Amino acid sequence: MKGTNHSETKQQTVPQTATTMKPTLTLLTALLLAPLAGLAQDTKNPGTSMTAPKLLPAVEIAGTAWKLDKLPQRLKLDRDLGVVVAAPIGKVQAVGPYYPYGTIFGPRAVKAPNGDYLVLGAHGGYYQRSDKPNNEPILWRSTDQGRSWDHGVRPWTQDAGEHCLVPLVDPSQSGRIYVFGNASRGKTHATGMVFRHSDDNGRTWSAPTTIVPKNDPTFPGAPIHMRGAVMPDGTWLWGAYYRDGGIVGPQGNNDTQYLLRSTDRGQTWTIAPNPHPQGWTHPKWNKFMEGTVVPVGGSEAVLYLRVPGGRMHEKRTTDSGLTWSETQETPSLVHPDAPPMVFPFAGGKRLIAFIHNRYTAEHPHHYHLDRGALWFAISDNAGRSWSEPQFLIAQAKQPERGHETSCDHDVCYVDLLVDGSALHLFVGDGQRRALHLAFSDQALAAFPDRQSFETNP
């Protein structure tokens, strides 16, 4: 069965401000979609408030609580943004304002055909918690390779909620950008799966096309918010998971992972490993979710899976997603119940994994205190082994909501844009804002590892 193309005309881009929202929006939605009220915004940098955030007295890095005024030499504090970063990072920028209401969930970036950098997100309420649309898409643009960012626009209007917006560029489709997302209607994790395209560098967008797997046309739908892949033979691979319920219990969320596959650029789709409900799940945790597809050369790819227990898991294909290996633990990397954040470099089998490098076994599910710092590790053999983790960034702001499952603790749901040797990392800052960290491939060796904190405080 082919994907269904919705023929309604899309609106042109509209500034994402409270004054330009549709009059039918409720007061609550207006609050969710408005920038931080009561604090003056820096007009030169739309993500910086003139009022500095309240900071924690110390941050925990490598098992030690470091006072902010006595940080190790290889770290530095950005007081305006409220984060501690490794010294090799030059400038940390905010992309868009800090939102006091709602979330910016999972910023995702792409380089447009004309060289612009685009960052996409969905701002507002969490889509599963309302039976009416309670968030809207937003797109930020940089015309100078990330040195500055505009204030953001609403790229299209829609009558459904989004979970995330994930771009894809198919090398065979010159000048075109695809964006995958959801069309959520109702209090359910089972959402419509859609994609759009733009042929003018993200200025205007097509109507959404709904993904309907031909081997499971009644598939209830699933969130798409992690990276997919275009294989060298043109095959598209995307992870999508189904959640039966939304309450975290001793046996997890009943999260079942699937894999969407298309060999004709999205005209038709199949779903693996089987029609719903026979997807992949962990026998102990009853959970696999947020599957991320990483191509590693030729017809090979790795599907990284989120699961509790302190390790990511993975499956491998050698035939562009037709068949998949048995599930294995990803070696050596310590990571809590949080998304896989693994990306390829420009080509070949070299990968970079962003991990939290911390796991609290007494709190296996959704323990956001384990997401307060971000590290990275490198693999030169398609993820079969990894380097020692190196520190990147830690949250230093006092959380507005201090409980252990609060997203305010997070530096998480990152995305990486690789542009030659330049690496542009986009980090979800407490799910309230996107941060942009720029550094080079050559600088990776200078980032501190755990041993350097012990021997050179």
pLDDT of residue 90: 85
Given a contact cutoff of 8 angstroms between Cβ atoms, the answer to whether 241 and 287 are in contact is no
Q: Give the residue-averaged pLDDT of 85-102.
A: 87
Question: What is d(CA 389, CA 201) in angstroms, rounded to the nearest whole number?
Answer: 36
For 452, the enclosing helix (H) or strand (E) is: helix 450-455
pLDDT digits (tens, 9 = 90+) for 389-436: 999 999 999 998 888 888 899 999 999 999 999 999 999 999 889 999
pLDDT of residue 102: 64
Cis check: omega of the bond before 137, within 30 degrees of 0 = no
| Mean pLDDT of the chain, nearest integer | 85
Q: Give the residue-averaged pLDDT of 249-259.
A: 74
Quick check: helix, strand or coil at residue 401? coil
pLDDT of residue 209: 94
Given a contact cutoff of 8 angstroms between Cβ atoms, the answer to whether 47 and 95 are in contact is yes
pLDDT digits (tens, 9 = 90+) for 179-212: 998 876 666 666 778 999 999 999 999 999 999 9
> Sorting pLDDT into bands at 50, 70 and 90, what band is 225?
confident
Lowest mean pLDDT among 3-7, 295-299, 356-360, 363-367: 3-7
CATH fold of the domain at 1-34+107-210:
Neuraminidase (2.120.10)
Where are the domain boundaries for CATH 2.120.10.10 in the chain?
1-34+107-210
Question: What is d(CA 10, CA 4) in angstroms, rounded to the nearest whole number?
Answer: 16
| Residue written as token pair 């626009």 | 153
Taken in order 351, 352, 354, 359, the sign of the CA dihedral is positive
Question: What is d(CA 154, CA 161) in angstroms, rounded to the nearest whole number?
Answer: 13
Q: Which of 158, 205, 149, 157 is nearest to 177 (CA)?
A: 205
pLDDT digits (tens, 9 = 90+) for 22-52: 333 333 333 333 333 322 333 344 444 447 8
User: Please, how many CA atoms are within 13 Å of residue 405, restricted to the half-sphere of its CB?
Assistant: 6
Question: What is d(CA 134, CA 427) in angstroms, rounded to the nearest whole number?
Answer: 23
- 241 versus 133: the higher-pLDDT residue is 241
